[in-house]
């Protein structure tokens, strides 16, 4: 009888121990895997370079993480079956890779019926658009150089002359791009658009978007105009050389609010550079220059 009782106690202890192990170490959920392809932007003027720097992935409204679009890595996620996914695009603010920000200019990619397969790789092809509200009215400034150029030499400067080029090796997309060539005879340039334009100081986000490539540093400036002429010229950012065409988003929100604090102003965009003494020539190309404003 004593032996039976002892065996019963031992059996009960073993059962409880096994049950406890199952609670402490439950079966692990097998992950699904996703691969995110490079972004598409449907209403992008130029198709070659989107300017999307990173993706913020959400699954069922829960943040999974931020990932680079050129990464070849697959992402493990604990999801299966029909699931909501959302991808928020990031841009490099002012072209600075350390300053990736959620884009205020683009819509999110949302799929409420995305199918995950357990222990398998599923591909996501994110598609974004520029926010439709950006184009409710004519853009404050928009220059693509296909038919003409609105850029001229800043008055009083000994600047190299900007010209449009039609060489296929030099044009971004379309038929022409803007080119400035510096040499020892003309070692610097200072150019701006000819017609001043207004910007909305009440907009939540104001960006100068453009395509460029260059082999030397150049400076982007704002020429702040008033009724009597030029009020002042403000440096905005220095842009580093790029061998290939690059799309950049330069934020002007704070500058516009600051410069229009007392009265409405008009603006011009300026580009300026000087050739270093240790190089024979310096070349700069520009295209698709436009101002984007958005209210949320």
Residue pLDDT, tens place only, 84-130: 999 999 999 999 988 899 999 999 999 999 988 888 888 899 999 99
For 172, the token pair is 């971004």
DSSP 19: H
Query: CA 108 to CA 103: how far, in whole Å?
Result: 9
Question: Sorting pLDDT into bands at 50, 70 and 90, what band is 259?
Answer: confident
What is the CATH T-level fold of the domain 136-294, as seen in this structure? Answer: Jelly Rolls (2.60.120)
At residue 238, the 3 state secondary structure works out as strand
Query: CA 133 to CA 135: how far, in whole Å?
Result: 5
Domain 136-294 in the same topology as domain 32-130? no
Q: Cα–Cα–Cα angle for 42, 45, 47, nearest 5°?
A: 70
pLDDT for position 118? 84
Where is 80: in which H helix or E strand?
A: none
Q: Just give the CATH number of 32-130.
A: 2.60.40
Q: How far is residue 4 CA from its own chain's centroid? A: 75
Q: Where are the domains positioned within the chain?
A: 32-130, 136-294
What pTM does this model have?
A: 0.84
Average pLDDT over residues 244-268: 86
pLDDT tens digits, 192-216: 999 999 998 889 999 999 999 999 9
* 173 neighbors 263 (Cβ within 8 angstroms): no
For 279, the token pair is 């190089």
pLDDT for position 45? 60
Average pLDDT over residues 29-53: 81
pLDDT tens digits, 121-180: 888 999 999 998 887 778 999 999 999 899 999 988 899 999 999 999 999 988 999 999
């Amino acid at each position: 009888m004593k032996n039976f009782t002892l065996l019963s106690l031992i059996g009960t202890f073993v059962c409880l121990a096994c049950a406890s192990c199952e609670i402490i170490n439950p079966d692990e959920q097998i992950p699904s895997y996703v691969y995110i392809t490079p972004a598409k932007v449907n209403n992008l003027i130029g198709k070659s370079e989107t300017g999307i720097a990173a993706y913020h992935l959400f699954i069922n409204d829960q943040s999974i993480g931020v990932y680079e679009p050129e990464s070849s890595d697959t992402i493990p996620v604990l999801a299966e079956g029909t699931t909501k996914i959302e991808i928020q695009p990031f841009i490099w603010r002012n072209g600075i890779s350390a300053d990736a920000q959620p884009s205020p200019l683009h819509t999110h990619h949302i799929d409420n019926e995305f199918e995950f397969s357990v222990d398998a790789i599923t591909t996501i092809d994110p598609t974004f658009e520029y926010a439709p509200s950006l184009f409710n009215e004519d853009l404050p400034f928009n220059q693509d150089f296909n038919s003409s150029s609105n850029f001229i030499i800043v008055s009083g400067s000994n600047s190299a002359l900007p010209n449009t080029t039609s060489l296929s090796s030099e044009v971004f997309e379309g038929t022409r791009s803007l080119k400035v060539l510096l040499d020892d005879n003309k070692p610097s340039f200072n150019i701006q658009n000819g017609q001043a334009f207004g910007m909305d100081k009440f907009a939540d986000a104001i960006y100068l978007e453009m395509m460029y490539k260059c082999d030397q540093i150049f400076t982007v400036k704002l020429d702040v105009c008033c009724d009597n002429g030029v009020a002042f010229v403000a440096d905005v950012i220095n842009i580093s050389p790029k061998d290939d065409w690059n799309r950049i988003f330069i934020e002007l929100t704070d500058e516009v609010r600051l410069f229009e604090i007392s009265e409405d102003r008009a603006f011009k965009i300026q580009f300026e550079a000087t050739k270093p003494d240790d190089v024979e020539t310096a070349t700069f190309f520009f295209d698709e220059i436009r101002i984007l404003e958005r209210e949320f």
